[in-house]
Amino acid sequence: MTDIYVRRFNSAPRGRRWFPWIIILILAGVAAGWWFMRSREAVSADPGPAPAAPASTEEGSAAPEPAEPSAAKSAPEKSGRETPPSPSPAVEAPDPAAMEVFREAMELVRGNRLRAARDKLYGLLERDLAERLASSTKNLLGQVNSALAFSPRDMREKSEYIVKSGDNLWELARRFDTTVAYLQESNDLENDALRPGMRLRYLDGTFRVDVDKSRFILDLYLNERFFKRYRVAIGKHDRTPEGTFKVGDPVVHPDWYSPDGLIPYGHPDNILGTHWLPLISKDRPELKGYGIHGTRDPASIGSEASAGCVRMMNKDIREVYMLVTRGTPVVIHE
């Protein structure tokens, strides 16, 4: 296990908030299913929702290094990659049996039987699915995984620990290869205080990140199994480097060291959003200043908009920040 860097999470999680989120999840699942069934006769190829560089190519950094040019502070340039011209795809014949399993999974979600729904959805992913159904399955599965992972609810990958005298969240996070933020969020902790006898649940496994530049998606895997898909933005003019990286020391509320100097977190000109995950390349140490971060411009997601970094919605990077630790592998590819 790699040495884990744990940064104190600044905002205490809001306890007992997952009930309304589960209701939202149910409604989202029903809406997604209705949309899928209505549009199955005209299936498209849309995948659905789904980092020392040269100073001129860096978007930004949480360390004092040259970063994105000042011109990048304006509205992001959107290249042709966003909507590549292509002939109309052939209509994929729906698989009635697979569609029925998807409907059954939605009914389980509506009934708040998330673990059973999860099993059905993972079973679906083992089939050769039409693109639209595969995308809908991953989207719904990601919502179910979040609802289970970020709550005290049971989950196959979770282990339980009984707090002993002298324990603290930082040491436990290091021991379990997770983050303080995740332990707080998933156990409904209002503060840092622990008391002997408390039961803490945590994800017992290893994450990895896969970024597909051509599809503007970031897939998160837990124990080599799909966990959740996120939509991202990448670098303009193919500036996002491809290769294998590892996550460095994550930062919450990052300052941005721009070409014009330090821009603190919260300033309107700070482009990094709420969290920063630096990317480190052992094979290409010259790649510096790249990372995965949030954004002040949600409309840029799904396009070539940055100077090289991978951008996410702030709510999405917050989630990934809580799950991955220093040393988490990241692969970026076309």
As beta bridge partners, residue 279 has: 247
The active-site residue, picked from 237, 267, 293, 333, is 293
Helical residues (DSSP H) of 70-149, grouped into ranges = 96-110, 114-125, 131-149
Cβ–Cβ under 8 Å, residues 317 and 275:
yes
285/298 Cα distance (integer angstroms): 30
The active-site residue, picked from 237, 253, 309, 333, is 309
Q: Between vectors from CA 13 to CA 7 and to CA 16, what angle results, nearest 5°? A: 150
Question: On the CB side of 168, how many CA atoms lie within 13 Å of its CA?
Answer: 6
Tell me, yes or no, if 237 is annotated catalytic: no
How remote is the C-alpha of 279 from its chain's centroid?
15
Tell me, yes or no, if 275 is annotated catalytic: no
Helical residues (DSSP H) of 14-168, grouped into ranges = 18-39, 96-110, 114-125, 131-149
Residues designated as active site = 293, 309
